[in-house]
Structure 1
Amino acid sequence: MKSFSSSSFANDHAELLDLALAAVSKHPQALFTDFQWFLYEARDTVFFTAASRNSFTKESLGNLVADMVALAPQLTHGFVGARPGQPFPSHLLEAITHVELVDEFDGYPDNWLGKSEDIFVRDDLPLFRVSALVRRGGPDAEGRASMIQVRSSHALLEGSDSALLTRSASASHGVMSDKSNKVGLKSRLAGKLRGWSMTWTYVILANLLSPAEKPWGFKTLALKRHRLRLLANKLGVRQRSLMFALVTYALNGEGAEKHMSRKVIGAAYTMLDGRRNDADDDFFRVRALQAKFKVKDDFVAFAREIDETVAHIEQKDITRFQVMMNSMFKTLRGLNRFWKGLPGKRFWRFNGGMHIVLTLVPPHRTYGPMTHGLMEPIYCGAWHPAANICTFCPGREYVTLNFSMEQRLLPNVDKIEALLAKVEAMDVAPTGRAVVEDEGL
């Protein structure tokens, strides 16, 4: 199958559009890369929500969606009847937008968050939804006239897309891999072998050991960026390491009782990397890395341990884990083509001993007509059936922490701000080393 970039569909080349239409007429997800296919089959979803000074109507919300589609043409992919890169007709805009009047915004955005299973109920509708809550009495004391939420299949949008759209910039992907930067044959073969082996190991273990579906919950927290910057400098660590430490330490718990692990917290975290290669996915910019954080009761020592762990991982070849994962996605898709019963429903609930996924998305700074009137804090997160996830979304003034996780862990989210205040009050001995700044924070 020929590869088509998202940006290809936004132009007037009739031949490319005809080829794309021919592909999706046979299968709605035919143009998805293997990574996109994996996230679609897992029913992974993402969300974006924030307050606005503007009061939305059904018409203005439809206009917003039209602007989104123009900037992110991948939103036109993946459903029955899709016309890749073409504007939506009015009946589709009507079906995927919703406006509701409310008296107050109490409990939001948390009351609004969920798995977004409704996105996948009808296969003839786009794989995203846009909703607005509008306050009956006009703006409240904080100036909030409405709240807006975008929910999408993760196969169509990633954190960098959300950041670009927030700035009214194009989020069209094109081809994300760099075909001129070749991964060595030895590394490629090793990655493929590990991916193939990992696939069969996971499929077998998942169908034998995968837990029953667990009660799930969603929660958000907004912290001032200035507080995190000052404390990171005080501890001599990256801001990213500090945020990872605050979340994992609070969720795991203090003292003898640990909610995730007594010894090592298995974590996956994501980053953007400009050093693309020919083994990268052609759609996603994000790159996943795997880490193990040694549990320590002393928070300062724990934060510094995480900082050293992250530095050590990123000094090595960070393409290795992603090459293996991409190979795994390709193998899974091939197995699914051979027999639709593979990898099986239980597979998607198996996490392979991973305790948490930590995702730091690019800064979300409002600019231009797309986000006119939008107010901080801005919340952005994700859901996956097997993963406890914390998504960190930095804005100009706030960093929001967006949790999707087992309900048993949610009460510990309330301990994060208390932990932050406690460490701020400590007299901490300096490390004597320069702090490495996180790009974009």
Structure 2
Amino acid sequence: MKRTIDPSRPRAESPAQWLDELAAALLLPFERSEAIREELAEHLRERIRDLQLEGLNETDASIAAVKELGDAAAVARRFRMAERTPHRRMLMNLAVIGIAGAALVTSVIALSAAPTPPATPSQPAQVMAPGAADSAQARLDSALAGVEFAAREIIDFNSRRVRVEHALREALPLAIELSAQLDESSGILSTDPVLRLAPIKVQNEPLEAVLNAAAERAGVRAVVRWPLLEQIGIAPDDLVTLDIPAADLGAAMAAINDALGVFDRQHQRWLDCRVSNGIVEFAPRSFFDLREATVVRYDVAPLIDSGISIEDIRELIAQFVEPNNWADNGGDVAYMKHVGGRLFVKAPPRMHDSIKWYIEQLHAGAQTSHSSGRHGLLGDLPILGSIFGGSVYTQERVPSVPSTPTHLPIGSHADSGRLIEVPDAAVDPAGPAPVGPDR
């Protein structure tokens, strides 16, 4: 199966056209041609994304990425040369071995056929022992058979290598996807059975002893980031009074924060924890926020087309979703960047849950406004409609933060958001991605 290039067609500027011209010019077997096309298509997708993050729109980024690779025909010639080189090298090596073998045969025949020089008094005649020529010929035949066997083994090895590489290309993406799903599932399943605590009742006990007791009753070992906690005013010898019935670790952490005088979960002094591989880690919430932050891409082009400005969208999110965490408000946990109809947000997973809810409400309001002919900014939204549009609304609660922090599956699509990056720092050195109690 081959592709042909229409000579009258203009030079490709889109990735799809460029890849079609490349595949047609490769003149390689179809499977090999498709493998090369897939690899270059993945490269182009990643490069276009990088260029968009640098500020180019999608069309300009596509054109720039294609121009960086150069002419499709020239690239195809380089691939064809690379494909031929190993085969040519093998033929040359076999030819050299054959020539050397032929020279050895000729030498043996010449030696066996040459007349024996006459003996002289000073130098006795050199006479080949009976059967020596037959023995040399037998050794030569054995050596040539070995060369032929080695050549066949080389060809078989290359054939097996190609089959293994093809199998890896098919199996590796599936293995990565299943591994990510398994990591996420194991993190969720490990939270319930291990986080149950026996009752805790203490009177004016040091915080360090209380945290160790809570970990012991949960059946895990405690690791406390005291240097970070002391920076926000929490010390090991702070006295705590608690009376906690049997509960999960999340409820225990809320009670401990209450005892420390911290009642707002968004406060910078909130003491948080994560459980992983039999270890409970205590640290400030900001520590876990920075470690677990992920980047999610939200499609806001339909909202902008409906008349909502990107400034209004950014202001809505920065004011209603943990305002103190946003860089626009002086924080260092969450960031937003608008590029070509997409809003890239880096934030902890719990913030993405709230952001997604607001984005979905904006989409729903834009669709309702379009169908009813109303175009008031946010006027059709529950809760927000009273603020921005002054309309009568039915009160609706913003979804509460989930009891365990979770990451969206890698590469999965949501209605309004798509996870495009999970930093390596999100994985704890002591084990897999951390999970924990109510935050």
TM-score normalized with structure 2 length:
0.19
- Going by fraction, where is helix more abundant, 1 or 2? 2
- Going by fraction, where is strand more abundant, 1 or 2? 1
TM-score normalized with structure 1 length:
0.19
The structure whose Rg is larger is: 2
- Which protein has greater RCO, CA pairs closer than 8 Å, 6+ apart? 1
